[in-house]
Amino acid sequence: MAISYVVSDTPIGPLFLASTERGIVRVAFECEDFDSVIVELEENLSDEAVEDSEVLAKAVKQFDEYFAGVRQEFELDLDHSLSSGFRRDVQEQLTNIDFGTTQSYQEVAATVGNPKAVRAVGSACATNPIPVVVPCHRVLRSDGSLGGYRGGLKIKTTLLELEQAA
């Protein structure tokens, strides 16, 4: 499976975007070390990752529109190859959380049919390989506090503020 990637400059710092022929497979924040992400992709998807901005031009354009406040929903094919089982179920459910709204980890657990799996939902969010597009930043603790975020709480706050301002 061919893996294409590009690094795109955004208001939250450089984002690493990767896709297969099925769709976007990985979005990574600068704090994740892009070289390590490339190794992870090549090991997990059994193919070489190649920088290719043409393949990802549509995704880069949609990220630019999102950060400019003119796009509320990504229209990209997604490749969930890096997730499976309950984590994948949760991550697929996250795309149903509307722009500018949030849900608690508990609400997401109930939505996927396992209301006691709050910690497992947190784990699914923490390991979401396609953040921003699969909006795990929209999931908060029941008391309204942020919880954690793969890119850091500053980025989670920025994304939530961006969506509230739109």
Q: What is the pLDDT of residue 37?
A: 97
Q: What is the pLDDT of residue 46?
A: 87
Q: What is the pLDDT of residue 17?
A: 98
**3-state SS, residue 118:** helix
Of 136, 139, 160, 162, the catalytic one is 136
- Over residues 97-134, the pLDDT tens digits come to 999 999 999 999 999 999 999 999 999 999 999 999 99
Length of the chain: 166
Q: What is the pLDDT of residue 166?
A: 59
Q: H or E element: which one contains 7?
A: strand 3-8
Residues in CB range of 96: below 8 A, 6 or more apart: 111
User: Consecutive sets of 10 residues in the chain, 166 residues long: mean pLDDT of each?
Assistant: 93 97 97 96 93 94 97 96 96 96 96 96 97 97 92 96 84
Active site residue 125: no
Q: Which domains, from first to last, does the chain contain?
A: 3-68 (3.30.160), 85-165 (1.10.10.10)
